């Protein structure tokens, strides 16, 4: 009996150390993948050499639009995903050095993006696609204003305002595109520049009309079973509402408290959608492949990642469980050969190189939406999301014979 009493305390200590090592290992893995994805884009663009060195890959069914949209897609989508990470303060850790390097490259890249004299001046004034990725750039500023917007010089800021405002030339279709216009205008609002409230309000009205229940929105008049709730609708809708609430703005004749109520409802819907996304993750770390734009890879989990970053995970989703689930998916996907080309840029595909999976609008710049999964890196390393013990996720519990929570739809 004496041996048992001596062994148990030591065992508990060992388990605690093992848990901390695992949590730190998860964060290091996430940071390394984020850096691997970001470095080829930002290191080149900071020197004005992205258009020179990025090995473009277009869909086999490419619709013939100007292929230079690819650079804007890569930059905007990447920055939106890693902006929270780059907002953390500098430190002397290996990760801190990665962040500092990426931030320095990013600030130079932002300047080149709107400098007409730079080889990497983006395709702002041709095609309709720039509205999409301008919204991701604007969103990156909204997510890290002090680190990514405020350090820019006056001329660069002025150029962004001009480029954002001239995008009003584009008439967005009645789909998730309304939120791209609303996001751009919301950023202009946030910096006290001239903005178009109609574009913001019309997007809010249509998104509310398109809510179909149980945490899902239709993308337009008809519901499609795909992941556009993840890629665009849920995150951008909540972001727009959040900034209206910050400014205590009215929507037409409605009191600001009505906007606050809209935000609370939208957050609850996102929490429900996050629960659904977590339940999609299989015991092996895979998830269902359906709908268009599956080449956006881990962008599927943007709402779940956003809830974690904003500390809004519902009680049904413990932080250690969400971290373990997302890490499992990440490790499975990036263990497959062919995700990157010889220059380190993402290639068309889902898990590996699968060009035929690309849609008619897809290029390998589009794929940087996968960066949205890295939003929780915006939480410091000592945050409970990273230090909480790893837990089995729902499907892993279910298929191992362990008790797991029943699921219920939400009703408003």
Show Cβ contacts of residue 181 under 8 Å, excluding neighbours closer than 6 positions.
131, 135, 167, 168, 170, 172, 196, 199, 203
Q: Give how far Cα 4 sits from Cα of 1, 13, 14, 17, 18, Å.
A: 5, 15, 15, 20, 21
Position 63 in a domain:
yes
- pLDDT confidence bin for 122, thresholds 50/70/90: very high
Q: Hey, which residues does 363 pair with through a beta bridge?
A: 58
Is 50 exceeded by the pLDDT of residue 2? Answer: no
Per the structure block, which two tokens stand in for 286? 């895979």
Reported pTM: 0.93
Query: What's 94's domain CATH number?
Result: 1.50.10
Q: What does the pLDDT look like over 166-190, one tens digit per residue?
A: 999 999 999 999 999 999 999 999 9
Query: What's the number of domains the chain is made of?
Result: 1
Residue range 201-217: average pLDDT?
96
Pairwise CA distance, residues 297 & 287, whole Å: 10
Position 386 in a domain:
no
Number of other CB atoms surrounding residue 402 within 10 Å:
9
Phi and psi at residue 105, in whole multiples of 5°? -65, -40
* The predicted structure's pLDDT at residue 66: 96
Q: What does the pLDDT look like over 253-266, one tens digit per residue?
A: 667 788 899 999 99
Which is more confidently placed, 178 or 14?
178
- pLDDT confidence bin for 5, thresholds 50/70/90: very low
Is 70 exceeded by the pLDDT of residue 1? Answer: no
Tell me the average pLDDT of the chain. 94
* The predicted structure's pLDDT at residue 412: 80
Is 90 exceeded by the pLDDT of residue 16? Answer: no
Of 304, 310, 313, 321, which is closest to residue 379 (Cα–Cα)? 310
* The predicted structure's pLDDT at residue 254: 67
- pLDDT confidence bin for 250, thresholds 50/70/90: confident
Position 327 in a domain:
no
- pLDDT confidence bin for 19, thresholds 50/70/90: very low
Position 162 in a domain:
yes
Q: What does the pLDDT look like over 86-105, one tens digit per residue?
A: 999 999 999 999 999 999 99
- pLDDT confidence bin for 34, thresholds 50/70/90: very high
Q: DSSP letters of 72-124?
A: HHHHHHHHHHHHHHHTSPP-SSHHHHHHHHHHHHHHHHHHHHT-TTSTT----
Taking the CA atoms of residue 271, residue 33, residue 351 and residue 69 in that order, the dihedral angle to the nearest 10 degrees is 90
Show Cβ contacts of residue 84 under 8 Å, excluding neighbours closer than 6 positions.
143, 144, 309, 375, 376, 377, 378, 379
Pairwise CA distance, residues 47 & 396, whole Å: 46
Position 359 in a domain:
yes
Q: What does the pLDDT look like over 251-297, one tens digit per residue?
A: 766 677 888 999 999 999 999 999 999 999 999 999 999 999 999 99
Q: What does the pLDDT look like over 212-224, one tens digit per residue?
A: 999 999 999 999 9
Q: DSSP letters of 254-322?
A: B-HHHHHHHHHHHHHHHHHHHHHHHHHS-TTS-----SS-GGGGGGGGHHHHHHHHTT---TTS-HHHH
207-214 LR contacts (CB < 8 Å, sep 24+): 207/178, 207/179, 207/233, 207/237, 208/262, 211/269, 213/409, 213/411, 214/272, 214/409, 214/410
The range of the structural domain enclosing residue 372 comes to: 21-276+289-321+339-379
* The predicted structure's pLDDT at residue 313: 98
Residue range 43-59: average pLDDT?
98
Position 403 in a domain:
no
Position 407 in a domain:
no
Of 212, 216, 202, 319, which is closest to residue 269 (Cα–Cα)? 216
Pairwise CA distance, residues 279 & 61, whole Å: 33
Q: What does the pLDDT look like over 321-363, one tens digit per residue?
A: 999 999 999 999 999 999 999 999 999 999 999 999 999 999 9
Pairwise CA distance, residues 13 & 216, whole Å: 44
Helices (H) and strands (E) in the chain, counts: 15, 2
Show Cβ contacts of residue 220 under 8 Å, excluding neighbours closer than 6 positions.
173, 174, 175, 176, 210
Position 191 in a domain:
yes
């Amino acid at each position: 009996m004496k041996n048992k009493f001596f062994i148990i305390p030591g065992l508990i200590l060992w388990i605690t150390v093992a848990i901390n090592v695992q949590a730190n290992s998860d964060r290091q893995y996430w940071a390394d993948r984020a850096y691997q994805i970001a470095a080829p884009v930002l290191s080149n663009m900071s020197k004005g050499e992205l258009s020179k060195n990025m090995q473009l890959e277009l869909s086999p069914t490419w619709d013939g639009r100007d292929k230079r949209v690819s650079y804007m897609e890569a930059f905007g989508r990447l920055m939106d995903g890693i902006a929270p990470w780059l907002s953390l303060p500098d430190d002397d850790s290996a990760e801190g050095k990665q962040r500092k390097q990426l931030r320095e490259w990013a600030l130079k890249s932002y300047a080149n993006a709107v400098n007409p004299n730079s080889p990497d001046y983006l395709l702002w004034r041709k095609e309709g696609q720039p509205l999409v990725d301008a919204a991701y750039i604007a969103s990156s500023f909204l997510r890290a204003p002090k680190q990514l917007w405020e350090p820019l010089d006056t001329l660069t800021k002025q150029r962004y305002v001009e480029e954002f405002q001239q995008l009003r030339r584009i008439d967005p279709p009645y789909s998730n595109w309304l939120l791209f216009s609303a996001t751009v205008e919301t950023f202009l609002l946030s910096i006290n520049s001239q903005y178009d409230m109609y574009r913001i309000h019309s997007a809010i009205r249509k998104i509310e009309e398109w809510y179909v229940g149980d945490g899902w929105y239709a993308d337009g008049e008809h519901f499609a079973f795909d992941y556009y709730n993840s890629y665009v609708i849920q995150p951008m809708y909540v972001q727009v509402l959040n900034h209206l609430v910050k400014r205590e703005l009215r929507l037409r004749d409605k009191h600001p408290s009505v906007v606050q109520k809209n935000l609370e409802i939208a957050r609850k819907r996102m929490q429900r959608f996050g629960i659904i996304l977590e339940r999609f993750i299989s015991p092996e770390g895979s998830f269902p492949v359906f709908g268009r734009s599956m080449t956006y890879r881990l962008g599927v989990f943007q709402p779940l990642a956003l809830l974690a970053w904003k500390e809004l995970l519902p009680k049904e989703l413990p932080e250690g469980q969400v971290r373990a689930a997302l890490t499992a998916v990440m490790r499975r996907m990036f263990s497959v050969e062919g995700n990157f080309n010889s220059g380190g840029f993402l290639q068309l595909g889902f898990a590996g190189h699968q060009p035929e999976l690309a849609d008619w609008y897809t290029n390998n710049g589009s794929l940087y939406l996968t960066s949205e999964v890295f939003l929780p890196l915006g939480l410091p390393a000592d945050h409970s999301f990273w230090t909480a013990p790893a837990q089995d996720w729902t499907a892993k519990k279910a298929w191992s014979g362990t008790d797991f929570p029943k699921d219920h739809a939400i009703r408003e």
